[in-house]
Amino acid sequence: MTEPVLETRALSKSFGALTASDSVSLGLRPGEIHAIIGPNGAGKSTLIAQICGALRPDSGQVFLDGEDVTALPPQIRARRGLARSFQISQLAMEDTVLQNAVLGALGADGSPWRFFRPALRDRALRGSAEAALDRVGLLDHAATVAAELSHGERRLLEVAVALTLKPKVFVMDEPMAGLGTEGSAQLTRLLDALRLEAPILLVEHDMDAVFALADRISVLVYGRIIATGTVDEIRANPAVREAYLGEET
């Protein structure tokens, strides 16, 4: 079997008496979308936070490209190719779409404007930013101020910003949240194509999107993975139906 690009080994994390991650081991293979589903409070976001480095596990490890990154801070993991998307606050709302993408290409979260000005004139940076915007279908909106984008377009811009960093892995926590039918469909199409550039670990509540996109699904309940399998395997799994999918199937 191919080596996973991203792997967790027995990650555990407790908040007081509550076990939010209970020895979670999972892998993300090249080219795949691996969805994590589970009820509210199951520990999905806690798991993502440990993978991205925002939260230290009590025990267990995170591997990126075979390297143990458990002790590394989020920015270093990001620079090594771990792209976390969908925290709207990462966008500079008063800047244009192109400026946001160039900032991404610069890898300069929070970098002062004086570094940024010359960056806009830098051909390579600008070229990579424009390519990323083109990839997500936002090149026509390059001059639009981010604040004027629709909700769905902002999600696409976040993907473009992530793409400029040439990620090895995408990690997404509920990217469909708050999107209407059209926005979800558009983002679903993009993610479907994006997996060829970098595999996606996808936490998502929208089961239509999950069933349409996932190569594999892991089901998290009370911090534990109770099943991992294909869409068909997960839909047919009695324990999963009881714990989570009951009303949906």
Q: Taking the complex as a whole, how short is the minimal distance between the CB of residue 22 and ligand ADP, in angstroms?
A: 11
Quick check: 87 binds ligand ADP (CB under 6 A)? no
Nearer to ligand ADP, 6 or 103 (CB): 6
- State the Cα–Cα distance between residues 39 and 56, nearest whole angstrom: 23
In the complex, minimum distance from the CB of residue 195 to ligand ADP, in angstroms, rounded to a whole number:
22
Report in angstroms how near the CB of residue 26 gets to ligand ADP at its nearest: 14
Contact positions with ligand ADP (CB under 6 A) in 18-37? 18, 20
Closest contact distance (angstroms) between CB of 226 and Mg ion is 17
Site for ligand ADP in 93-122 (CB under 6 A): none
Among 3, 10, 15, 230, interactor with ligand ADP by CB under 6 A: 15
Residues 30-49 that bind Mg ion (CB under 5 A): 44-45
In the window 33-72, what residues touch ligand ADP (CB under 6 A)? 38, 40-46
Q: Determine the Cα–Cα distance for residues 211 and 61; give it in Å rounded to an integer.
A: 29
Taking the least distance from each CB to ligand ADP, the nearer of 21 and 237 is 21
How far, in Å, CA of 150 to CA of 158, rounded? 12
Minimal distance, residue 43 CB to ligand ADP, in Å:
4
* Interacting residues with ligand ADP (CB under 6 A): 15, 18, 20, 38, 40-46
